[in-house]
Amino acid sequence: MHYTITPEPAKGILHIELTVKNIDTPTLELQMPASRPGRYQLANFAKNLLHLESFGQKCNSLAFEKITKDRWRVHLNGASEVKVRYGYYARQMDAGGSWVDESQVYINFINCLLYAEGYLEEACEVVLKLPSDYQIACGLPQPEPHVLRAVNYYRLIDSPLFSSASLRHQFYQVSHSTFHIWIQGQAALDWEKVVNDFRNFTQVQINMMGGFPDPEYHFLLQALPFQHYHGVEHWNSTVITLGPTEKIPAELYPELIGLASHELFHVWNVIRIRPAELLPYDFTRENYFPTGYVAEGLTTYYGDLFLARSGFFTPEQFLAELTRTFNRHFMLSNTAALSLTQSSFDLWLDGYTSGVPGRKVSIYHKGALAALILDMEIRKETRNQRSLDNIVQLLWERFGKRGIGYSHEDYVQLAEEVAGKSLQNYFDECITGIVPMQERLAEALAYIGCRLEAAPLPENPGNIAIRIVLGEENENFRKWLGMV
């Protein structure tokens, strides 16, 4: 599939031409993705599509009909090549959107590129008609200026692009990979500190995972003039949208580092260590999966834990961060009706809204809490010989590296193998069940010499507010944070 993209900045429109060649069927079906990997919610990108025309190789108009809300059938009338032209309204500024104006072109290809059914595995090329002084930041190879190639559509749509004449760029090397930091926007950052902090958490992650799976990685940061906080993971890049700009070097700096660490860990967890239900991803409909507690729960837990291990957070700061994360669960959904696996399945229903009181839990917050509890259970059982780190490493070795999707049952089995005992009680209560977690958390924290303080919230019956109190530093605590 070959795409040509011509931005019209004043109107916020991308003019897109898709060419598909060597077609030997009487019709060709074209699909606009209904959602994007990383946000398990229908987005119906077709609603931004402005008009559509199709032509054969002799520029003759080809008839087409719309067969679902985001699918078209083109009648080839003997043609072996189809050109489809359409406009896409690109004015959604967040980490999963696309935006074009006089200052930049920012595209998440999943938002706006139609694909032809039967061609998902074929190589793709994108030619961008950009001003000559525009630089491109993207995880895809650029064989020529403003031209991108992808091995297939899956990789293309997992490679967002920043382009402008004002992109700022720094890079660093860890292991055998180069990590690029690109910034669009005015944030006045201390580059030396930024690169140093990024390098440190990158090194800690690579140490745990035994190498980095790609020679390149790109952090794409949009510094925005308004309040904003969002990040999305990709194959070898991430988009982070953060604001307001003037706060990024100060109050928002830990948020930037926290997001970056979280998104980088997704390179393994969810991008490559992939739930079986998402392999391959179906762009036409919901992709239900129960293991959001692994994909986002473990990533939320490790995102901050790596920052403690890399020295960015002091132990006190890290525990304060954990307290904040856990309280989002305890203060809102301590006695919610749905388990983690059920809430993961229901991401497609209300995963990105606060939802009705007492219904669901957050796969991020309760997922991170469940991760800590499992980590401590294994450390205790094996006298610190093994931990949750080993589960992630095995997921990588046995599933991620081999391109095999894992199921909830695979995860249970792997966890039990690492723990060397049955974890049925843990999974029944914390993952597939809805037993409140306060007691288990208190026990887990006691193992690392910390204490849990909890207070009921009278205005919010059933919910509590917690505080994690750092006790005398102990050996288990230091091992957990990689200090010994």
Q: Least CB distance from residue 400 to Zn ion, whole Å?
A: 16
296 or 410: CB nearest Zn ion: 296
371 or 445: CB nearest Zn ion: 371
Q: Least CB distance from residue 376 to Zn ion, whole Å?
A: 22
Q: Least CB distance from residue 292 to Zn ion, whole Å?
A: 10
The contact pattern for Zn ion, residues 189-228, with x = CB under 5 A and - = no contact, is ----------------------------------------
70 or 296: CB nearest Zn ion: 296
Residues with Cβ within 8 Å of 292's Cβ and at least 6 positions away in sequence, in order, are: 40, 340, 343, 344, 347, 363, 367
Q: Which residues 442-461 are close enough to bind Zn ion by CB under 5 A?
A: none
Q: Which residues 258-317 are close enough to bind Zn ion by CB under 5 A?
A: 296, 299
User: Which pair of structure tokens corresponds to residue 132?
Assistant: 């000559």
Task: Check if the beta carbon of residue 243 is closer than 8 Å to that of residue 180.
Answer: no
Angle at 257 between CA 253 and CA 261, to 5 degrees: 170
Task: Check if the beta carbon of residue 300 is closer than 8 Å to that of residue 365.
Answer: yes
Q: Least CB distance from residue 299 to Zn ion, whole Å?
A: 5
Q: How many residues bind Zn ion (CB under 5 A)?
A: 2
Q: What are the b/e assignments for 239-277, b being 16+ CB within 10 Å?
A: bbbbbebeebbeebbbebbbbbbbbbbbbbbbbbbbbeb
Q: Tell me the C-alpha to C-alpha distance, in Å, between residue 450 and each of 318, 335, 445.
A: 13, 24, 5
Q: Least CB distance from residue 107 to Zn ion, whole Å?
A: 21
Q: Least CB distance from residue 234 to Zn ion, whole Å?
A: 11
7 or 367: CB nearest Zn ion: 367
299 or 323: CB nearest Zn ion: 299
Residues with Cβ within 8 Å of 252's Cβ and at least 6 positions away in sequence, in order, are: 242, 243
Cα-Cα end-to-end distance for the chain: 52
62 or 363: CB nearest Zn ion: 363
Query: Distance from CA of residue 475 to its chain's centroid?
Result: 34
Q: Least CB distance from residue 36 to Zn ion, whole Å?
A: 13
User: Which pair of structure tokens corresponds to residue 349?
Assistant: 């229903």
174 or 368: CB nearest Zn ion: 368
From the list 265, 233, 85, the residue with the least C-alpha distance to 159 is 233
User: Which pair of structure tokens corresponds to residue 216?
Assistant: 């390149």
Residues that bind Zn ion (CB under 5 A): 296, 299
